[in-house]
Structure 1
Amino acid sequence: MSGIVVVDDRNDWPVLIPGIEVVTAWDYLTHELHTRARKLRVYNLCRSFGYQTTGYYVSLLAGARGHKPLPEITTIQDLKLAESPRFLNDEIEELIQRSLSPIGSSEYLLNVYFGESLAKRHERLARALFNLFPAPLLQARFVYRGDEWRVETLGPIALGEVPGSHLEFLYEAARDYFARKRTPRTRRDSARYDLAILINEDEKEPPSNARALKAFEKAAEDLGFDVEFLDKSDYGHVAEFDALFIRETTAVNHHTYRFARRAAREGLVVVDDPLSILRAANKVFLAQLMERHRIPQPKTLLLHSRNVKQAARELGFPCVLKQPDSQFSKGVIKVDSETELKRAATEMLERSDLIIAQSYEPTEYDWRVGVLDGQPLYACRYYMAKDHWQVVKRGGNGAVLEGSHETLDVKDVPAQVLNVAVQAARAVGEGLYGVDLKQFGKLVKVIEVNDNPNVDFGVEDLVLKDTLYQKIMAYFARRLEQRTREQSR
């Protein structure tokens, strides 16, 4: 995908950057060369983004032409609503306090150039603001009120408003931005789409190991994708792609959800899509969803501060308590007495007004059925860790002990297991899910539905091998081809 910098006057941008052409806003808006161009990144550095100004129309029409603008029109609109400090999430609020705490004055002006700050101590804050509102040039005004720093204003800054002493830094930040992970490469003739895969190299228990990620990359390229791996600092680049595959553990109050939300808003094909994250990340929602669709699950109570004793009466002991956003056996505990129940429930209810209590129904292993687009994809038996009631046993020193696993061809899986897994996945959505189930003879119960299931080399792929990765990438290709057909009508 080629890139252009759009300015009101060519003299506004004297920087020569390989692979980046400088175009005036008027030329971009009116010349057929740009009207009909495809796969174009548009870096909008116009002097104003006011409603229906030239700069406004550059971002607006870039979206209409299928180009990838920075800033997008939605970012421009979002920034108009950013006067209130409530627009920021807690993570950035904390960063503001830490970053500005050493400052002695009651006001501070921070300019952010392509996600970078001239003041090194504010680098993380600058990147966080850029990730939340991806615009090439941002200016944030902070004031100290009471006992904390607050955002007074936040918005795009025009090139003409950049202090002369900042220009060299701005140009260097632009060079770094265009070069970082954007090294020009020979595009294969077969490449039709751009796929971003979001990962976190520092994650201790990622949903896909390194060899699986390589297998995904190869499968995607074989199907005509150009593939690029992103991390959380690449939020500003999301709109440059056709599809986003999240291979980092997802959560709602987390950058993974923000990536998914933004990608969906920009029309990308997304796995995991934001609605699936919202639904599957909360076990309270899942419990109610299974009940609504009459999908069997262990006996379940929605626990709150006023009905803790009810769990003892209706579920007996032992029983299981689950934090709504628990993952990987974390936040899931077994209690053996009313005293333990009260203590554990009180602790959990400090973090969430509702939690889940379920009957304890032990099995030798849990089924995990991978479901893609409403169809079973793979199936595994995950056995309980030695001398433990869960698949994963976590020690107090951080040690992790996992049970063994067995991967089966889906045709060898009991029909009832597959049927219940598919029902549960379809209730959540149409993407990629891992459904955990327990089997008691012909009776099968859903434990949970994961929106971000493990697909690891050497585990889930033991039966299908490369075909597993190809099937998942083919899902993206089908969705993109369908979108292309609909847009051409």
Structure 2
Amino acid sequence: MSIYIVVNNTKDWKFNIPGAEVISNKAYLTQEEFTHVKNAKIFNLSKSYKYQSNGYYVSLLAAARGHKAIPSIATIQDMKSQAVIKVIGEELDELIQKSLADLRSDQFSIRIYFGKSVAKKHHKLSLQLFNLFQAPLLKAQFRYEEDKWELHTISPIAMSEVPEEDRSYVEEFARIYFEGKKFSVPKRDMSGYDLAILVNPKEEVPPSDAKTIQKFIKAAEQVGLSAYTITKDEYSDLAEYDALFIRETTAVNHHTFRFAQRAKAEGLVVVDDPESIIRCTNKVYLAELLKNNDILAPKTIIVHRDNTKQVIEEIGFPCVLKQPDSSFSQGVVKVDNEQEYKETIGKLLDKSELVVAQEFLKTDFDWRIGIFDKEPLYASKYFMARKHWQIMDWKKTGNQRFGKSETLPVELAPNGVIKTAQTICNLIGDSLYGVDIKQVGNKFYVIEVNDNPTIETGVEDTILKDKLYQRIMEIFLKKIKRMKDRKEK
């Protein structure tokens, strides 16, 4: 891989970084030789990234040439968005308060050079900000408001703006960055396409356990993909890959969603894509989608503070109350009488302006239909946990937490359950979904659509076994090739 450090004036960069060539942004934009370079990484240290400036065009043309620019156009836009900065500040709130706790002023700024701060106590915060707003040289500004520190702005800085006393640190941190594993690029083989699998080794109940992840990696190799696991700390490496497969429980106000957003902005194939995460993780959206498309579901009411009595009158008890963003059976409560209902609905409405209330349909199991790229892959029955009304009982631990499961060949599942699952998925997208459906006689009621469905060894793969993982990887490869073809046209 060719490495270029791009600056306004080459005299601004006086350091010798082995393996990196220093060029001016004008040279990168105008000299023919750079248009033909393959597999290059561009460290854009231009003085300005304003729209249509040289710095802006360096990152823009890098994308057109197939080069990996830092910062990318997506990062440049993110740094201009107060909405993005606010969300990032909220996620890093605990770290921000801890890092700045000893300060007595009402404003403070940190200069971040290749992910590090001159002050060691700010290293961890600097690395997290660099991972989220990846640019070689950054300045993060904080304000102390309402008894807490808040991230106010984050912006790139040019080499010419670095104080003289910091320049030796820039050289040191640059060397560490270029020599460290953070810059290493996965070894490419076979098709040359790389797949990142986002995992959280500490997650209590992940969508796929470590054993299953290894099956995905092996299947990827069999179809011509190189697959690697990454964690949330490797956000800055996303641009090195061709696709992202999220195997960590997703949520909108969470790093998994930002991974999906950034992957899409960088032109990667991403599962789950941001739109699917938004649509599937919110049960209010799903309830409205089902209603507007005449898809059978349990009797449902969207509850707000002004219509709480409507549930008592129209659904009755028992009924099920759901937080809009609940997952893995958490945030879903069955209430058996009016007193329980009033106590529970108040607590849920304190967390969300809207809550979903549904009639309770008692069944021995839920169907789970796995669909990827609009193709049904597996049909499983998830039985209720012992002495519990859900398939998972969070009050218990280990295997006792789950009910038993049974997987059937797709062609042996009722035709109605497969058609119902495909109908709702077609309205959401073409990503990987797990549709939960209750069967009552010959009727099929959609309970929810999971954008990040569980796929575990010995459960969903019982029928297809390793072919299930291979089929999923084949679809990834097809999507990657399809996206590459679109870019070339």
- TM-score (structure 2 length as normaliser): 0.92
Aligned to 1:312: 312
Alignment partners' CA distance in 1, 2:484 and 2:114: 31
Segment drifting more, 48-57 vs 113-122: 48-57
1:401-420 mapped onto 2 (5 Å cutoff): 401-420=401-420
Shift of 1:52: 4.1
**Which residue in 1 is equivalent to 2:130?**
130
1:32-60 deviation digits (Å, cap 9, x = unpaired): 33212233222222344344443332212
Q: Which residue of structure 2 aligns with residue 230 of structure 1?
A: 230
**Displacement after TM superposition at 1:428 (Å):** 1.5
State the AA in 2 paired with 1:225: L
- Greater shift after overlay, 364-373 or 471-480? 471-480
Contact 1:13–1:22 (Cα < 8 Å) also in 2: no
1:64 corresponds to which residue? Answer: 64
Which of 303-312 and 198-207 deviates more?
303-312
2:182/2:237 contact within 8 Å kept: no
**Structure 2 residue identity aligned to 1:34:** F
Deviates more, 1:434-443 or 1:145-154: 145-154
Matches within 5 A, 1:168-207: 168-178=168-178, 179-183=180-184, 186-188=187-189, 190-207=190-207
Task: Classify the secondary structure of the residue corresponding to 1:208.
Answer: coil
| Alignment CA distance shift 1:153-1:329 (3 Å) | closer
Alignment check: 8 A CA contact 2:260 2:274 kept: yes
Q: Percent identity?
A: 47
Of residues 128-137 and 352-361 in structure 1, the stretch that sits farther from structure 2 once superposed is 128-137
* Equivalent position SS for 2:401: strand
Structure 1 pair 5–467 and aligned structure 2 pair: CA distance change class (3 A): farther
Letter in 1 for 2:73: I
Instruction: Supply the AA of the counterpart residue of 2:79.
Output: L
The whole-number CA distance in structure 1 between the counterparts of 2:390 and 2:18 is: 55
Structure 2 SS opposite 1:350: helix
Pair 1:422–1:81, CA change in 2 (3 A): closer
Q: Deviations over 1:390-432 (max 9, x none)?
A: 1111218899611111111111111111111111211211110
Distance 1:22 1:447 in 2: 57
Residue 335 of structure 1, CA deviation: 0.6
1:455 positional shift: 1.2
Q: Partner residue of 1:249?
A: 249
Task: Please report how far the alpha carbon of residue 485 of structure 1 lies from its aligned counterpart in structure 2 after TM superposition.
Answer: 2.4
State whether residues 83 and 154 of structure 1, in contact with CA within 8 Å, keep that contact through their aligned partners in structure 2: no
Which amino acid in 2 is paired with 1:113? Y
Matched residue, 1:376: 376
Contact 2:368 / 2:380 at 8 angstroms: preserved in 1? Answer: yes
Taking a change above 3 Å as real, the CA distance of residues 218 and 146 of structure 1, as seen in their structure-2 partners, is closer
> Deviation string for 1:261-314 (max 9, x for gaps)?
121122211110000000000011101111111111111111121222221222
Q: 2:333 is matched with which residue?
A: 333
In structure 2, the residue matched to 1:25 is 25
Write the deviation string for residues 131-151 of structure 1: whole angstroms up to 9, x where unpaired.
332211101233435644344
Task: List per-residue Cα deviations over 1:147-182 (Å, max 9, x = no partner).
Answer: 443445431111233234434443443344443254
Q: What does residue 432 of structure 2 align with? A: 432
Specify the SS of the correspondent of 1:305.
coil
Q: 1:16 matched to which residue of 2?
A: 17
Question: Greater shift after overlay, 102-111 or 86-95?
Answer: 86-95
Deviation at 1:22, TM superposition (A): 4.2
Partner of 1:480: 480
Residues 79-158 of structure 1 mapped to structure 2, 5 A cutoff: 79-81=79-81, 86=86, 88-145=88-145, 147-151=147-151, 153-158=153-158
What do you get for the CA RMSD once the two structures are aligned? 2.5
SS of 2:188 mapped into structure 1: coil
Higher alpha-carbon deviation: 302-311 or 173-182: 173-182
Q: Which residue of 2 aligns with 1:467?
A: 467
Flag the 1:226–1:172 CA change in 2: closer, same or farther, 3 A.
farther
CA distance in 1, matches of 2:295, 2:47: 57
Report the Cα offset of residue 354 of structure 1.
0.9
- CA 1:218–1:121: 2 relative to 1, 3 Å: same
Structure 2 SS opposite 1:392 = coil
Gaps of 5+ in 2: none
**TM superposition shift of 1:220:** 1.8
What is the CA–CA distance in structure 1 between the aligned matches of 2:369 and 2:85, rounded to whole Å? Answer: 44
Q: What is the distance in 2 between the residues matched to 1:366 and 1:87?
A: 36
Hey, what's the Cα distance between the residues in 1 that align with 2:266 and 2:359?
Answer: 43
Contact 2:185 2:240 in 1 (8 A): no
User: 1:247 deviation in Å?
Assistant: 0.8
Contact 1:143 1:149 in 2 (8 A): yes
Q: Write out per-residue CA displacement over residues 439-481 of structure 1, whole angstroms, 9 at most, x where no aligned residue.
A: 1221111110000001112221121112111111111211222
Offset, 1:6 = 2.7
Q: Distance in 1 between matches of 2:355 and 2:145?
A: 37
Contact kept in structure 2, 1:35 and 1:65, CA below 8 Å: yes
Q: CA deviation at 1:5?
A: 2.8
Counterpart residue type for residue 291 of structure 1? K
Q: Structure 1 residues 269, 85: closer, same or farther in 2, change over 3 A?
A: closer
Work out the number of aligned pairs and report it: 487
Equivalent residue of 1:128, what SS? Answer: helix
Match of 1:266 in 2: 266
User: Does the CA-based 8 Å contact 1:83-1:152 persist in structure 2?
Assistant: no
What is the one-letter code of the residue matched to 1:220?
A
- In the TM superposition, residue 80 of structure 1 has moved relative to its aligned partner by 4.0
Distance verdict in 2 for CA 1:167–1:225, change over 3 Å: farther
Structure 1 window deviating more from structure 2 (229-238 vs 279-288): it is 229-238
Question: Residue 483 of structure 1: CA displacement?
Answer: 2.1
Amino acid at match of 1:215: K
Q: Could you say what secondary structure the match of 2:79 adopts?
A: helix
The one-character-per-residue Cα deviations of 1:102-145 (angstroms, maximum 9, x if unpaired) are 11233322011222223232233223322332211101233435
CA distance in 1, matches of 2:270, 2:80: 27
Q: What amino acid maps onto 1:478 in structure 2?
A: K
Asked if the contact 1:84–1:151 (Cα under 8 Å) also holds between the matched residues in 2, the reply is no
1:52–1:282 CA distance, 2 compared to 1 (3 A): closer
Q: What is the CA–CA distance in structure 2 between the aligned matches of 1:395 and 1:185, rounded to whole Å?
A: 42
Q: Is the 8 A contact 1:112 1:137 kept in 2?
A: yes
Q: Which amino acid aligns with 1:116?
A: K
- Superposed displacement of residue 322, structure 1: 0.7
- The answer (yes or no) to whether the contact 2:12–2:159 under 8 Å persists in 1 is no
Residue 50 and residue 486 in structure 1: after superposition, are their counterparts in 2 closer, same or farther (change >3 A)? closer
Counterpart contact for 1:82–1:154, Cα < 8 Å: no
Contact 1:303 1:355 in 2 (8 A): yes
Assess if the C-alpha contact under 8 Å between 1:84 and 1:152 holds in 2. no
